[in-house]
Amino acid sequence: AQQLLLVKLRKMAVAQKDFKKKQEEHLIPYSLVQPVKVGSKRPVIFSPSLLSRGLIERMMQPVDSGLQYNTNSHLDKHCLLELGLPCVEGLLRQGIYPIVIHILPKSKKNKKLRKFFPRCEDESVMEEMCQAEQLQLETLPLLYCTLEPGTWSCTEDLLAAIRNAISSQQMSVTWVELD
């Protein structure tokens, strides 16, 4: 009886290996993460980073958003940072958990995004930079928020979507990759 059981177990193991090999082609790598509850306001970093300056200037204009922005953490206000994605790991090492907001451009809406790209003349250069930063996002050790092109149609809609994303990300638990 024990030998029959061993034979059946071996056959099952062989069958599972074949099944696993077929599925391994479609596996997405994952890493272990830990939840972090942040009590203070988190700084905000925009991706593509070329958008940062224009977005920060627009966000700092007086509006009735309900969100307050400043650079002083003691005032319990959000800080909008003009940093690139490589700076995120340095912030995490210091115990600062930023909100990373990635804005997906759509070809038709690139004209509207151009307002926020002061240093970029060529549209192909702008697209290359956006794609490069999108690849960098995949290597970040924390989750980020993506604003889909369908969530906004004009600058005011984009700013409102950003404010909503900041509010929702601030209230949610931050998931950070374990070292």
Q: Which of 17-31, 118-132, 149-163 has the lowest mean pLDDT?
A: 17-31
Nearest to 97 by CA among 160, 143, 135, 164: 143
The 10 Å Cβ neighbour count of residue 61 is 7
Reported as a pLDDT band with limits 50, 70 and 90, residue 100 is very high
Query: Does 106 have pLDDT greater than 50?
Result: yes
Domain spans in the chain, listed from the N-terminal domain onward:
29-177
Overall pTM > 0.75 = no
Question: Which 3 state secondary structure label does DSSP give 83?
Answer: coil
Identify the pLDDT of residue 164. 92
Which whole number is the average pLDDT over 68-94?
A: 75
Edge-to-edge strands, sheet with 80-81: 80-81, 44-47, 99-103, 145-147
Q: What torsion do the CA atoms of 20, 26, 32, 37 make, to the nearest 10 degrees?
A: -140
The superfamily (CATH) of domain 29-177 is: P-loop containing nucleotide triphosphate hydrolases (3.40.50.300)
